Structure 1
Amino acid sequence: MLWRTLLTSALICAIGLLPWLSHTDPALTVLKARSAERTPTPETLAAIRDELGLADGPSALLVRWLGGLLHGDAGRSWVSDTEVLPAVLQAIGVSLLLMAGAVVVALATVAAVCARTLRLGSRRRLGDDRPGGTGSAVLASLPEFLIATVLAAVVGVQLGWLPALGWYGPQWMILPSLALGLSAGAVLGRMLDDLLPAAFAEPWALAAAARGTPPRSVARQALRRCAPGLLPNLGLFLVGLTGGAVTVEQIFDIPGLGRLTLSAALAQDLPVLQTGTLVLVALAAAAAVLTKVGVRWLIGPALRDGALQSLHRPTRPAPRLVPLGYALALAAVIGLGLPRDPLTLDTAAKLQPPSAAHPFGTDALGRDLLARVAHGALETLGTALAVSAVALVIGVLLGLLPRLSGPLVDTVNAVPPVLAALLVTGVAGSGRWTPAWAVVVVAWAPLATHTASLLRQERATLHLTATKALGAGRGYLLRHELLPAVVPPVVRHALLRLPAVALSLAALGFLGLGAQPPSPEWGLLLSENQPYVERAPWAVLAPAAVLALLGALAVTASAGMRLPRFGRRSGRNAPSPSDSPRARPADTQQPTAPAPLHTPDRPSLR
């Protein structure tokens, strides 16, 4: 609790220093937010400073805001001059309702992704040659704002089946819930589908199937067995839907907390920004407590007594032809587009459909989309791979220290990505690698949570208890038991998020922190062509298809991966004295098995 309180205090103080960290005049920013046409004269700026108390410095502002919170007063907005607390509570109510709809969609998506594994596993017909889940990988790689744009344009505008703009009733939450829940459900479904085969191979499942237990009962218990490993990531997903659903709220014109926080961050409206962030941190803490209670309710006695079976089961590598096909297709797109010029303008060929001259069509300025996709691949893939690798290393290292990383993950996950980018830019300044560090700040949190949840269950397994009883040291257990069980699924999780990392890097371009026109970066291509999705859908579908191809390649290439063995080892046997020199003191002897209490009589040899 002390560690969590210190992190929250540091975050609130950093937000309070945001106008001074960004090296901008807060009075000028507030004036532009209030009235962009008004001339920023020295007298006008001085009046705003006196009105807001900016001359007293950030410390006085923070103390005044905290003092008001003790009396239930979060202050007044610097821009609209309205009470902050009612506006934040109304926005969090909208976000929670949207979150509930997205959770329903995500759970339905998880059920669809894992349906085949549940059906075959409960009937003991599940083998290691399962398909790699390419469809779920493609769905997980699609950006939320692209799904939202297509749903709003096709379902809401062209077909007119559902309303696409506003927030006036239950019908208005269907399309935003689909946009938020589909991709998140695909990610969670892939993680659950990665654990289910090992659960169906445990002795209890085999015994239940041999006794004739109905397959539905076996599948239900297998879900309960795997759920504790996913609950922490589900908690992160719930918190991310409140503050991180900024693009979906912008497209569908939803007055949620993410949109309110983004507007306050851009306008440097500190009372609204600090109150909204404090609400998100409190929501993250509540979600963390609920997930811990849920884990203890599901498998608490087994965690306490060390009576679990390991969910890590080495699988055969996936057929190389599948990822090889995706790799060749991606290489073909890049190879065909690199000889073309991505910056050549042709005003007479605006928004042309795909043809022999332009296989992917052209954009609103007449530029060849194939050339822009190919040239943007080098920058996008290189930076995204570097960011994913750094986030993976940080996530695994901090996940191995759950008491340290747990509150840190909750606090970081409560910060909207845009706000994290503004804080990083304020501290490090604008530069080429500033967007990469801004994405790293938030990208490691789900990987650390996944690592910690798997580590918690792996430490409670029977074979680990037996190995420690036979004299294995901590180093041996970490290298030979824990890391081989934890790292492969976390690496697959990181690869599944690779397309999302690429899009997060590009999304910072809207704030002047990332790629800027005329750069052919993939996420920027999607953002530039989004307004023309109705007239020229190929302008959006071409980069989205290549992005989905990247996601499918990442997932299928990681199927069946495992860590190399260190030292000699056979099955789950304990280490030999040479393998673990510090397993026991030097002056003790190797423990031997106790003699049986009863030895049957044997005839003597004469």
Structure 2
Amino acid sequence: MTVAATVPVRAVQTPVRRALKVFFRTPSGLVGLGLLVIVVLCTVFAPYVAPYDPIKYAPIDRMQGPNVHHLLGTDLYGRDLLSRVIYGGRISLAVSTISISLALIFGGWLGVLAGYYLGWVDTVIMRVTDVFLAFPAILLAIALLAFLGGGFWNLTLAIAIAYAAPFTRVVRAAVIRTRDTMYVEASTALGAGDARLLLRHVLPNAAGPVLVELTLRLAYAILAEAALSFLGLGTQPPAPAWGQMIADGRPFLELNPWVSVAPGLAIMVTVLGFNLLGDALRDALDPRLNR
């Protein structure tokens, strides 16, 4: 009786425990998680971490290299680069997080409808999705910003629209794979409605691939935000943004390369963290790999 009583508990807990065990035994995943924790903490507590005001001019300190007072040096206007990199992370992380959340909500629910109902609903949604996937995301975002104009919210909306289609395709595939399982068919036979099937059975069991895609798209969104800011389509000066800082330092690469190198390193570290985390989550959530 003791064995019979413990079997259901182990059957429920084993997949979760196995996924956590695989993740915490993956060094790359822990490194990625650590990098992201450091970046997020620095940006959230930027007023307490940054040593200087990121937009305060100090002409007497202009174009200094790394030194005791300015660990990453200063830019053309004497502003501390370390402080600007830390505050710039707020904009990059905010744009990427909000835009990818909007893309997941809109594109994800379209994928749910297409994968669950199939038929003409699937045909219409996927043909529209194919049209958006035919354009590179960065070019689509540039076209949208040319119509909407620059700025924080327009940049966020453009990136969200550009990355909604990939979520539609990923969620559709996950829902199709889940809707044909035996436990969904059993719930249908017992009279469960569509809303109950989606919320209780289909979506929770389709969350693994979507979670991995979410982490990777966050990295893509940071790169897209940096590229668009580099082109002058993002947040406008004097507010610091990583891409805009790289563009500002481009004329002074020979005189003081740190003006561009510092924000470039911040982008590299953040994107690397998301990629390592996504790879580790994929290994942990895929039963074919962690078995």
* Fold shared by both chains (TM-score > 0.5): yes
The one-letter amino acid paired with 1:342 is: I
Where structure 1 has 5 or more consecutive residues not aligned to the other structure, the ranges are 1-123, 138-317, 561-606
Secondary structure of the structure 2 residue equivalent to 1:493: helix
How is 1:173-322 mapped onto 2 (pairs within 5 angstroms)? none
* Post-superposition offset of 1:457: 1.4
The one-letter amino acid paired with 1:462 is: M
Match in the other structure for 1:378: 90
Q: Which has the higher helix share?
A: 2
Question: For residues 372-394 of structure 1, what are the alpha-carbon distances to aligned partners after superposition, in whole Å with 9 as ceiling and x for unaligned?
Answer: 11232333332332212111101
Tell me, yes or no, if structure 1 residue 443 matches structure 2 residue 163: yes
Question: For residues 414-435 of structure 1, what are the alpha-carbon distances to aligned partners after superposition, in whole Å with 9 as ceiling and x for unaligned?
Answer: 2244543454346545665322
1:342 and 1:369 in contact (8 A); partners too? no
Distance 1:547 1:558, change over 3 A: same
Match in the other structure for 2:286: none
Provide the rounded CA distance (Å) in 2 between the counterparts of 1:362 and 1:541: 12
Provide the rounded CA distance (Å) in 2 between the counterparts of 1:418 and 1:554: 19
Distance 1:373 1:478, change over 3 A: same
Tell me, yes or no, if structure 1 residue 485 matches structure 2 residue 198: no
The one-letter amino acid paired with 2:182 is: L
Distance 1:501 1:516, change over 3 A: same
Provide the rounded CA distance (Å) in 1 between the counterparts of 2:75 and 2:196: 57
Tell me, yes or no, if structure 1 residue 529 matches structure 2 residue 249: yes
Match in the other structure for 2:239: 519
Match in the other structure for 1:340: 53
Distance 1:132 1:519, change over 3 A: same
Tell me, yes or no, if structure 1 residue 502 matches structure 2 residue 222: yes
* Post-superposition offset of 1:338: 6.1
TM-score (norm 2): 0.69
Question: For residues 384-420 of structure 1, what are the alpha-carbon distances to aligned partners after superposition, in whole Å with 9 as ceiling and x for unaligned?
Answer: 3221211110121111133133222221122244543
* Post-superposition offset of 1:339: 3.7
Match in the other structure for 1:400: 112
Match in the other structure for 2:79: 367
The one-letter amino acid paired with 2:249 is: N
The percent of aligned pairs where both chains have the same amino acid is 30
1:421 and 1:438 in contact (8 A); partners too? yes
* Post-superposition offset of 1:342: 3.0
Provide the rounded CA distance (Å) in 2 between the counterparts of 1:325 and 1:439: 25
Distance 1:332 1:344, change over 3 A: same
Corresponding residue to 2:25 among 120, 130, 133: 130
Tell me, yes or no, if structure 1 residue 420 matches structure 2 residue 140: yes
The one-letter amino acid paired with 1:408 is: V
* Post-superposition offset of 1:470: 3.9
2:151 and 2:236 in contact (8 A); partners too? no
Provide the rounded CA distance (Å) in 2 between the counterparts of 1:325 and 1:422: 31
Provide the rounded CA distance (Å) in 1 between the counterparts of 2:179 and 2:270: 35
Match in the other structure for 1:353: 65
TM-score (norm 1): 0.36
1:334 and 1:374 in contact (8 A); partners too? no
Where structure 2 has 5 or more consecutive residues not aligned to the other structure, the ranges are 1-17, 115-121, 282-291
The one-letter amino acid paired with 2:28 is: G
Question: For residues 236-284 of structure 1, what are the alpha-carbon distances to aligned partners after superposition, in whole Å with 9 as ceiling and x for unaligned?
Answer: xxxxxxxxxxxxxxxxxxxxxxxxxxxxxxxxxxxxxxxxxxxxxxxxx
Tell me, yes or no, if structure 1 residue 388 matches structure 2 residue 91: no
* Post-superposition offset of 1:515: 2.6
* Post-superposition offset of 1:448: 1.5
Which has the greater radius of gyration?
A: 1
Distance 1:449 1:328, change over 3 A: same
* Post-superposition offset of 1:451: 0.8
* Post-superposition offset of 1:369: 0.6
Match in the other structure for 1:544: 264
Distance 1:383 1:330, change over 3 A: closer
Provide the rounded CA distance (Å) in 2 between the counterparts of 1:482 and 1:328: 34
